[in-house]
Structure 1
């Protein structure tokens, strides 16, 4: 009997890292992430998990009522657990540090597996264009709560809260 042909790339079969475009929405569409304090708190939560090696974060945008992440998890982490860490970590800190008493996140999240470079670029463009489409800025490097902006500020050597790091009245931060 002939063996069926294998069409999958053997490297992909064994690959432990998986990349996803993930989206989480705030409870009832509340604009909890529109304040600088809350957006920076979420950025800090993301940074802490990246620093701990829990996952890799390639790109993100924090919108007033949702987040988009381009995230890679390895064999020891599922996308479900990574999103639980992000959402739970932020909820815990928001309640602890600000006294917020309400629900923070809508249940669940959505994710799409990023399979190739075309998908990668499509999701990066979507992340960059999201605040523009929402009317929050006219170019991605103007929106302070996205990866692209933070990298640019870091490259320029700007620090959070410094007077030279202010433009249009918004405090800039470094990733």
Structure 2
């Protein structure tokens, strides 16, 4: 079994990518209300701040800021994935023997990508990456055309102009 090295800095910002196991599926957009509910429930149970988020049909990117003194982002990721899996119709869950033993629903890739945000420039670079991702993947011609992100919140805060990325 692989030995993954992860950073556990208390109170830090982290960039994450979570992907569906089957990248041809659109569950995250098709069931966006259920994903939003799972996300809200995760934030209530295991508090964190969202610096940026973008949901695409088969994966999502977000930047999480952990509370001071807290470094347990894996529990937050696990809870989010579990709650979303519980909330979508059972017909989308396709566990096999191996997944059943590991209590997996067969929706998400087992692992996730995480990156410790090192400084303000790194935060800005990853926020740009998150918001431009729908354009990169061809889902929108400009950032403002994609409604499944926190881009408009950041426009209201004055972090981005409305015409950024397009």
Aligned residues: 137
User: For 1:119, which of 115, 119, 122 is the aligned residue?
Assistant: 122
Question: Secondary structure of the equivalent of 1:144?
Answer: coil
Bigger relative contact order, structure 1 or 2 (CA pairs below 8 A, ≥6 apart): 2
1:67 aligned to 2:60? yes
Give the conservation status (yes or no) of the 8 Å contact 1:73–1:82: no
**TM-score scaled to structure 2, two decimals?**
0.72
Question: Secondary structure of the equivalent of 2:63?
Answer: strand
1:145 aligned to 2:120? no
Q: Distance in 1 between matches of 2:36 and 2:91?
A: 19
CA RMSD for the aligned pairs? 2.5
1:92 aligned to 2:86? yes
- Structure 2 stretches lacking a partner, 5+ long: 1-8, 95-105, 158-166
**Which residue does 2:40 correspond to in 1?**
47
- Structure 1 stretches lacking a partner, 5+ long: 1-14, 156-175
Computing the radius of gyration from Cα coordinates, the structure with the larger value is: 1
Cα distance change, pair 101–49 in 1 and its aligned pair in 2 (3 A): closer
- Aligned structure 1 segments of 4 or more residues deviating by more than 6 angstroms: 152-155
Higher deviation after alignment, 122-131 or 78-87: 78-87
Question: Secondary structure of the equivalent of 2:32?
Answer: helix
1:106 aligned to 2:109? yes
